[in-house]
Structure 1
């Protein structure tokens, strides 16, 4: 990247970075997207926003077309995973067919009724954390002050995670900087639960005071599920459909 030399108010020569052009900006954004993905926080909706800002969304459009193809292929086979991915795509915002949280929740319920374990898991997590809609895998999921719903949701979630410890999500990008390929990512759902028992959460008492609740035994129970969650790291969809 080129630099421009200027003089400041004291007459000293300083260097200023030239504003990058569209191509350089796109490469920087792809690198940023990939690095953020390492932290588990990258959805197609985010990349769509950033790449569209850069004026270069060719890779994005191609990747999202593959994601939609994957959803349609699964649905055509009668696989409820396709209905789940469709629901989660609307929740993430990169599919814009449905935006109302209740309507999005209904899509998850439809997928769950067809047998999608992923949908059942995210519905239970939604119940536990009192979220307006299932999904939102880039955010924390605590009790949100409703301890009754928290306990009821966890009671549903625990046996589900003992059968399948993860939930899947369609994303664009990978662990290599600049990579904008479409893939399926696997999230260990117990990861959202066990830190709550380690760090604690508050119970509001009748007299207006608060009590910090921690539970080492429950932390270990949920943390063990997370630590032992054996799941694939990469399921590259462009390769799948190129070979298919």
Structure 2
């Protein structure tokens, strides 16, 4: 079952890659797989998760255009994530709800990396699923979600005010006048963290997300690249890291 769960995750990761590429472009997910560069239909033996990427040497079988490493990475992450979750909760309703939530968060993360914006309906789906993916009662999860979301709405307002009205004047950078501390999709993800993990573990998850986000932010500053860092991937990383640490500690105590 462990091997099956990993293979299942890898196969589903291939579908997540389809969603990541097509949803922002509003392309039907029912359309057969094709090369984004030349448009040629991808043959079945060229579409085997993980294996085809290695076999084709990360190049399209028709036009030899480079296949982004993201395809391989998403499949690998999804495979291990499915395996880890199965090892912790086995096959159950909890597994079903959590894996849908995790898969949705993966799609949101990689879309945010690419476009620095995410579809609202995907966030809404993740938020709804979050209330089924927690062991807490609905009202408790809703309260935790509202506490987290409300606090960060207030924090976002204060930091944004500082960036737009104080920092922009101090460093004389007019581009900061329209800069926001958090993206519109960040607050619902923070609410999801509160709903699933609760207050204590949720705070740790968001703290970890901030730590994870510091590294690329510093690198971008040193290399003088785009300083706008999509925060959803780091929120998801913090959430998943704390989730598995938290659930593992409960299993072994």
TM exceeding 0.5: no
Structure with greater Cα Rg: 1
Normalised to the residue count of structure 1, the TM-score between the two structures is 0.28
Normalized per residue, the structure richer in strand is: 1
Normalized per residue, the structure richer in helix is: 2
